[in-house]
Structure 1
């Protein structure tokens, strides 16, 4: 295998966050020209353990390998059960305007890096630039819905576009976070939260005291999830007591939580979308089975 092809294969993994997965063992398989490679890679994030199975396919006309998908398994710190999700790496053509004003098709990757995939499995949202089936580019927060497992074994990937009304910068302004007073630190904070990271921030009390806490966006509540350094989530009451949020915001959050609980209770009583589909199929099959068989008329022979 020439250096150009091997360099392409290595840089492809780097772009997805798998630089450390480019091991001598993987290189050896590529040099042998193995058509399909399934390569295992393990990594830890602050006590959380992830195991990724990379699926690479060799080009039919060159020594280039393409990463089509990776299966990720997460075992959270102190928990015995694991969470699993397959992340696909696809390309779509997005319609855009060229410098001369004419429309052109740009190839855009719909992909998640290893860290983004870990953050999603850990329950945090990720902000992505996506391409619709019609070729239109759009921005959306994405989050896994662990209450709905699809037929392919993946959890439902919910999207919250601008129309949903969640504006991260506006949400951040409701909290006394020191980094927001510096434009550079503020942008770094926003970028990190966009990638789904559990980000450390400095909360400033009314008396000027400072406390380091972790934060993550809560899209459906229109707020932040706030955690102590042990990563235990702080309740709304604690945030009010520490004077990190006002009573008005606290009342709004309690009302939204109550509405969510009612909605979840309602959804529990209704079958999941996949179950609804299965029920409809069974019902249609039953109706077909229950239909009376029409007797065919027998024509008499004329002698």
Structure 2
């Protein structure tokens, strides 16, 4: 195998995050010149073992090897149930349009595939959607169903937390890209005492917020640390925005806030909002509040092939 072909083959692995799999053993397989090859591997992510197989085949035109797909299997961290799927890989040489090339940039990498199987959301910049695995439904082609979400402002969610690097644009972009890839990101939080504490974070697309974990991967709520921004104006702006939205929706439905609640919020009080105060459509206070909560959460949509 000449140097040019060896470099091409190595690029096939590096572009999907598998550079370390380009071993001497694999290179010997490639030199044999078989039309199709399978190369098994073992990896570990966050202490969780993963196994898989890379499938390569020769191109019709140039006789070079290309990765067509790879399989990945992991045992779910909490339940121990094995989750596995095959992830297809497109080759740029076969793409004709600019749209196809843009979509190619968002194909599966090994890290992204692991995070998806582990139950963390991954972001597709081409579709502008977050995808979350649905382990309860698997299609006949072996792909898991995916739930997809829109309307999530990751930059705003991160800005609401008092991260040490929150003013460092370059580092915040790296954190953002890691979360979009589905990574469990290690970050530093400022404390009230002026110190720094390390925690891991991941995005919850269902709630539009961050989940925070300690070094033992236990989920925590930081009460004694000022992990939220310490200026009250920022938190107030979030609350005020929520109140404005609530009042707007209330007014459209014919509801108004209770006297005591309105006074505490500095709003003009109105009539009592009671269960019997039904909208003409028959919608009750309970049903309306439920719909309002759904309205302000990230928009959740149906299922899609993996």
Determine whether 1:149 maps to 2:138: yes
Q: 2:189 — aligned with what?
A: 203
Shift of the alpha carbon at 1:77?
Answer: 5.7
Q: 2:205 — aligned with what?
A: 219
Residues 16-27 of structure 1: pairs in structure 2 closer than 5 A: 16-27=16-27
Q: 2:160 — aligned with what?
A: 174
* Structure with higher RCO (Cα < 8 A, 6+ apart): 2
Question: Partners in 2 of 1:178 and 1:273 — Cα distance?
Answer: 37
Contact 1:49 / 1:76 at 8 angstroms: preserved in 2? no
Question: Partners in 2 of 1:213 and 1:67 — Cα distance?
Answer: 36
Q: How many residues are matched?
A: 238
Counting strand residues as a fraction of each chain, which structure ranks higher? 1
Q: 2:177 — aligned with what?
A: 191
Change in Cα spacing, 1:226 to 1:107, as seen in structure 2 (3 Å) is closer
Segments of 5+ residues of structure 1 without an aligned counterpart are 97-104, 131-137, 261-271, 275-303
Runs of 4+ in 1 over 6 A off after TM superposition: 246-250
Shift of the alpha carbon at 1:189?
Answer: 1.6
Residues 1-303 of structure 1: pairs in structure 2 closer than 5 A: 1-75=1-75, 80-90=80-90, 93-95=96-98, 106=101, 108-109=103-104, 110-130=106-126, 138-160=127-149, 164-234=150-220, 238-240=221-223, 242-245=225-228
Segments of 5+ residues of structure 2 without an aligned counterpart are 230-234, 243-288, 295-301
Contact 2:54 / 2:67 at 8 angstroms: preserved in 1? yes
Shift of the alpha carbon at 1:148?
Answer: 2.2
Q: 2:249 — aligned with what?
A: none
The SS at the match of 2:201 is strand
Change in Cα spacing, 1:77 to 1:158, as seen in structure 2 (3 Å) is closer
Question: Partners in 2 of 1:87 and 1:40 — Cα distance?
Answer: 15
Shift of the alpha carbon at 1:206?
Answer: 3.4
Question: Partners in 2 of 1:154 and 1:106 — Cα distance?
Answer: 23
Shift of the alpha carbon at 1:221?
Answer: 0.6
**C-alpha RMSD of the superposition:** 3.2
